[in-house]
Amino acid sequence: MSAMTMTQKILAKHANLDSVTAGQLVLVDVDMVLGNDITSPVAINEFNKLNLDKVFDKEKVALVMDHFTPNKDIKAAEQCRQCREFAMEMNITNYFEGGNVGVEHALLPEKGLVTAGDLVIGADSHTCTYGALGAFATGVGSTDMACGMATGKAWFKVPSAIKFVLTGKPSKYLMGKDIILHIIGIIGVDGALYRSMEFTGDGLKYLSMSERLSMANMAIEAGAKNGIFEVDETTLEFLKEVGAKEPDVYKADEDAEYDEVYTIDLSKLGPVVAFPHLPENTKTFDQFDDIKIDQVVIGSCTNGRLEDLKVAAEVLKGRNVASHVRAIIIPATPKIYLEALEKGYLKIFMDAGCVVSAPTCGPCLGGHMGILAKGERAVATTNRNFVGRMGHVESEVYLASPYVAAASAITGKISHPREVME
Amino acid sequence: MNAYGKVIKYGDNVDTDVIIPARYLNTTDKKELASHCMEDIDPDFKNKVEPGDIIVAGRNFGCGSSREHAPIVIKESGISLVIAKSFARIFYRNAINIGLAIIECPECIDEMDEGDKVRVDFDKGEIVNETKNKTYKASPFPPFIQTIIQNGGLINSIKNNAFGG
């Protein structure tokens, strides 16, 4: 039996095989099939062509109405209605809308719907987020989603992998977001194309679950099929706390083959910013001068969790958002919203002059709730800064951590958190 | 199966946000979606595209979002084939699943220019740039992908019991 990576072990298990090797084609059983209000309607149209009266497992499909909700226009409302009616018809347990909805990749882990060792496909590219929990999770299209809902299966080519050994203790102001941006800056937006990114090393113990989720979330921004973290105490505690199924923990074999191995000393890294129009265009603060901004967005499946809001509140407490800046804070789920309310973060944000929005993907993909005009610049804790991503084709998005975003909201230019905090 | 048309050329990392901006994803109507194909990278696309045309692009074509609307609008616009140095993996899957022809051919891209007339014979795996009088070989799809293509996409494969066989 050949040595396997974490990813390969999960694929082998779900293909009912003892072992698999890179390049092998496998048919796997899926533990969860996910879709949102943009991708599910296309999947439902395809599913309906099969004339089935039920999905493969009503508890293993999740439909999350998070992208254009609260419905931004009539057409968006029609798309949600189609999903809602489908969910009712198929008795789908995990249908989320209205006061139950949060940004899908923040919501599913919080609800305990994914556990270590699971295999998840989602018609959303950031489905790779659940790799933080030790699951194999990957983005697919709507037709794959339809096929998954119908058969409970998906085809995969077993990927080879790149290993990232994280060592050392992160320096002050360094967040998981900075680490993953730094890595994408090194390997590029297609640096892990078709492959897995596996994260391990003694530096993991310093990374909270929230930081790991934001790192695995951006594996797709390096082209990866999936990103996955080695399971440790932090993972197991999180899974227990959210009431997830019993975890199935896979460790890579000692002699598993990796295409490349990168060792990254977290104590040597500082905050970074990804400049327009690719996540690989990363710069450290000594590499650019003042860049004036018009908007800040703190939220999304990358950085809209409680810990992200805590960091933002720490920076914004008792300070004011610059007069020419719109600072939009989007707690990713209703639970996070409520906790941020109870902990006083929302008051801090509003006192500072921020807008606090209901959970939504909204501006991240240029949907609504904070669209940019021609020539405007935003610092966002989101995951993509492609041309026109948040609005006008001549607007610009700079990707950064909640620390950097909050500091920038105050100064009105892209700022290192120490400019405000020290 | 063949493709024949003029080249419409783009660079590296053409992402799904420029292929079909998210602001238009509030519908599944293919014609309406296709009216915005390539809008944020090439506003002139809808005027210049003719049935059969071939998109030629660099590395990592279709990176970003998993939206299947991206290959759908390209196909709906009349594009017969996309040739690229490499494809982002979700776009690659989606194109196969909906029946948009795609070919990886790293060596032919730099020698193709906008407007060149290109003929492709899928069975032979041959790409001929008639304008430049150059011929290239493309590598064939693995058999399981060929099965999906032969069945006319993933949904038809399931209907024909060809999925998982």
CA A193-A198-A200 angle, to 5 degrees, is: 155
Shortest Cα distance, chain B CAs vs residue A155, angstroms: 8
Share of chain A above pLDDT 70, in %: 100
A331, pLDDT greater than 50: yes
Q: How many CB pairs under 8 A join A and B?
A: 137
Cβ–Cβ under 8 Å, residues B141 and B149: yes
The arithmetic mean of pLDDT across residues A3-23, rounded, is: 97
The arithmetic mean of pLDDT across residues A279-305, rounded, is: 98
Q: ipTM, 2 decimals?
A: 0.95
pLDDT at residue number B165: 44
Cα–Cα distances (Å) from B55 to A111, A126, A193, B30, B96, in that order, read: 43, 27, 21, 19, 16
pLDDT tens, position by position, B95-122: 999 989 999 999 999 999 999 999 999 8
* Inter-chain touch A393–B40, beta carbons under 8 Å: yes
Cβ–Cβ under 8 Å, residues A72 and B23: no
The arithmetic mean of pLDDT across residues A157-168, rounded, is: 98
pLDDT at residue number B164: 61
Q: Looking at chain A, which residues constitute the CATH 3.30.499.10 domain(s)?
A: 10-265, 272-421
Please tell me the number of Cα atoms within 13 Å of A33 on its side-chain side: 29
Q: Which of B40, B41, B65 sits opposite A125 (nearest CB)?
A: B65
Cβ–Cβ under 8 Å, residues A8 and A22: yes
Shortest Cα distance, chain B CAs vs residue A388, angstroms: 7
Cα–Cα distances (Å) from A95 to A65, A75, A174, A359, B62, in that order, read: 8, 20, 36, 16, 29
A207, pLDDT greater than 60: yes
pLDDT tier at B40, thresholds 50, 70, 90: very high
Which residues of B have a CB under 8 Å from any CB of A? Answer: 13, 15, 17-18, 21-23, 25-28, 40-41, 59-60, 63-69, 71-72, 86, 88-90, 93-94, 97-98, 142, 144, 153-155, 158-159, 163-164
3-state secondary structure chain A: CCCCCHHHHHHHHHCCCCCCCCCCEEEEECCEEEEECCHHHHHHHHHHCCCCCCCCCCCCEEEECCCCCCCCCHHHHHHHHHHHHHHHHCCCCEEECHHHCCCHHHHHHHCCCCCCCCEEEECCHHHHHHHHHCCEEEECCHHHHHHHHHHCEEEEECCCEEEEEEECCCCCCCCHHHHHHHHHHHHCCCCCCCCEEEEECHHHHHCCHHHHHHHHHHHHHHCCCEEEECCCHHHHHHHHHCCCCCCCCCCCCCCCCCCEEEEEEHHHCCCEEECCCCCCCEEEHHHCCCCECCEEEECHHHHCCHHHHHHHHHHHCCCCCCCCCEEEECCCCHHHHHHHHHCCHHHHHHHHCCEECCCCCHHHHCCCCCCECCCCEEEECCCCCCCCCCECCCCEEEECCHHHHHHHHHHCECCCHHHHHC
pLDDT tens, position by position, B64-78: 999 999 999 999 999
Class of domain A10-265: alpha beta
The topology under which CATH files domain A272-421 is Aconitase; domain 3 (3.30.499)
The arithmetic mean of pLDDT across residues B26-42, rounded, is: 97
The arithmetic mean of pLDDT across residues A228-233, rounded, is: 98
A340, pLDDT greater than 90: yes
pLDDT at residue number B151: 86
Minimal-distance CA residue of chain B relative to A392: B40
Q: Which of A49, A194, A388 sits opposite B17 (nearest CB)?
A: A388
Quote the crossing angle between the two packed helices A209-217 and A306-316, to the nearest 10°.
100
Contacts with B, A 355-374, CB within 8 Å: 365-367
Tokens 């992402």 found at: B15
B15, pLDDT greater than 50: yes
pLDDT tens, position by position, A97-150: 999 999 999 999 999 999 999 999 999 999 999 999 999 999 999 999 999 999
Task: For residue B32, give the H/E element and its range.
Answer: helix B30-34
Contacts of B144 in chain A (CB under 8 A): 25, 155
Contacts of A384 in chain B (CB under 8 A): 15, 17, 64-65
B139, pLDDT greater than 80: no
Q: Which of B40, B66, B155 sits opposite A139 (nearest CB)?
A: B66
Alpha carbon A326 to chain centroid, angstroms? 23
